Amino acid sequence: MAAGRPEAAVRPTPARGRIRQFISNLGPGIVTGAADDDPSGIATYSIAGAQFGTALLWTAWLTWPLMAAVQMTCARIGMTAGRGLAGALRQKYPRWVLAILATALFAANTINVGADLAGMADAAETLTGWNSHFFVVIFGAGIAWAIVRFRYHQIASILKWLALVLFAYVIVAIHLKPAWGSVLRDAFVPHWPKGEEWGALVAILGTTISPYLFFWQASQEVEEDKALGRRILIRRPDAPPLLLAERRLDVGVGTFFSNLVMFFIILATALTLHRNGITNPQTSRDVAEALRPLAGRFAELLYTLGIVGVGLLAIPTLAGSSAYAFAETFGWRQGLDRKLRGARYFYGVIILSSVLGISLDFLDVNPVRALYWCAIVNGLLAPFLLIAVLLTASDRRRMRGHPIPWLSRIMVGIAALLMLGAAVGMFVF
């Protein structure tokens, strides 16, 4: 303390101190949760709301605890094993299996990057009238440059604050003044899906409990450790109870926020598009422009701004998770704390994913449908990855004597079985 300076002038009030501590504890969990509501998620939830109204609102409360359990399990792998997910899996499975997994993840993520860029560009064209191809190149090149240029702590800070843009969808839905009685009934009284609802359920599960988030969450825990100076495994202490409690709060808040936004996107499109017979939007521009006469220019503006903002948050996690998966599989130097010349292959994957994503836009692919089917593919692949995650996190030796508790194992197992069941239901019913 400076001489002559009263103590009260230095210390924050208890309330301010608690708020500041709460915000400082939010990190990988809140970023991962917000990235889950990427343009792919927005498109999926918009289609679900447009096609089925409020009938699938109940899925938001189903997916929250499952997503929280899965992401916390991935976080514990990173915190305890001191490796990202692919690095931890490499201790248990052959490298060729992980190479296939990393390649599949790269392909799915790159398609998602391309579709996300197209969705962002469509939204930007709605706002400005400029050609969407221009925005695809600007967004893709700009995001790739920022990932390479900035270090981890800078990127993490930017991504955390970008998450605030998702409140736009909460504001849109509240602005529409829904009849809360019927909304809450559909939200808390689930029903057995029928017909095409099975496909929507698989897509919702696939975009909410999504493979790229598993890799991102675990790798960001390692990045957090490296930011504190613990760069080698022997210097990484077992995750203490206080740190685990802070991460549970971080993951819990992030996943709750993600599912809350999902709830309000479905609600907003149900109250506008579905109610007025617009059940098959083809592009994000269709959704935004349909909102204008039904909900006003304010709602359209918030919807389009939300797509652009969350795309800036999600694309680094998509490209980054692919880079982490390849680097950990093949033993490359890696990390957002390194400069380009110190991790060339790692950043090369990010740049390649961005270039291919930009190229996809010029193939004239429908972005909303591409995003929707990408979510379905993730929903079909995720259960098998979840089983591998569960087996790894339950292995006492791989987890250095600290496997995940039984409740977490049960929840992750339920998530895998539910996603398998939904996939079977989509093809059978």
Domain presence at residue 224: yes
pLDDT band at 14 (very low <50, low <70, confident <90, very high): low
Domain presence at residue 348: yes
Domain presence at residue 12: no
CB environment 10-44: b (16+ within 10 A), e (fewer): eeeeeeeeeeeeeeebbbbbbbbbbbbbbbbbbbb
* Arithmetic mean of pLDDT over the chain: 80
Domain presence at residue 161: yes
pLDDT of residue 324: 94
pLDDT band at 192 (very low <50, low <70, confident <90, very high): confident
Contacts 24+ apart (CB under 8 A), 293-302: 295/172, 295/175, 295/176, 295/268, 295/271, 296/175, 298/175, 299/172, 299/175, 299/176, 299/268, 299/272, 300/126, 301/127, 302/168, 302/169, 302/171, 302/172
pLDDT band at 347 (very low <50, low <70, confident <90, very high): very high
pLDDT of residue 7: 42
Give me the domain span that covers residue 147: 29-403
Tell me: the pLDDT tens digits for 65-76? 999 999 999 999
pLDDT band at 329 (very low <50, low <70, confident <90, very high): very high
| Percentage above 90 pLDDT, the chain | 21
Count of domains forming the chain: 1
Task: Please say if the pLDDT value at position 330 is more than 90.
Answer: yes
| Cβ 346 vs Cβ 333: under 8 Å | yes
Task: Work out the burial of residue 9: count CB atoms within 10 Å of its CB; fewer than 13 is exposed, 13-18 middle, 19 or more buried.
Answer: exposed
State the amino acid at position 191 in one-letter form.
H
Tell me: the pLDDT tens digits for 78-98? 888 778 899 888 888 899 989
Tell me: the pLDDT tens digits for 98-125? 998 898 889 888 988 988 888 888 888 8
Domain presence at residue 65: yes
What's the predicted TM-score (pTM) here? 0.81
pLDDT (average), residues 173-196 = 85
pLDDT band at 170 (very low <50, low <70, confident <90, very high): confident
Tell me: the pLDDT tens digits for 138-162? 999 999 998 888 876 677 677 766 7
Task: Please say if the pLDDT value at position 352 is more than 90.
Answer: yes
Domain containing 283 — which CATH number? 1.10.4160
Structure tokens at 394: 């339950």
pLDDT of residue 266: 92
3-state DSSP helix/strand/coil percent for the chain, to nearest 5?
80, 0, 20
pLDDT of residue 310: 80
DSSP letter at 190 equals: -
pLDDT of residue 411: 93
| Cβ 291 vs Cβ 303: under 8 Å | yes
pLDDT band at 246 (very low <50, low <70, confident <90, very high): confident
pLDDT band at 1 (very low <50, low <70, confident <90, very high): very low
Tell me: the pLDDT tens digits for 27-70? 677 777 777 777 777 878 888 899 999 999 999 988 899 999 99
Domain presence at residue 425: no
Tell me: the pLDDT tens digits for 317-326? 899 999 999 9
Domain presence at residue 89: yes
pLDDT band at 3 (very low <50, low <70, confident <90, very high): very low
> In sequence order, which residues have a C-beta less than 8 Å from that of residue 317 and are 6 or more positions away?
31, 32, 35, 38, 159, 212, 213, 216
Domain presence at residue 20: no
SS3 at position 177: coil
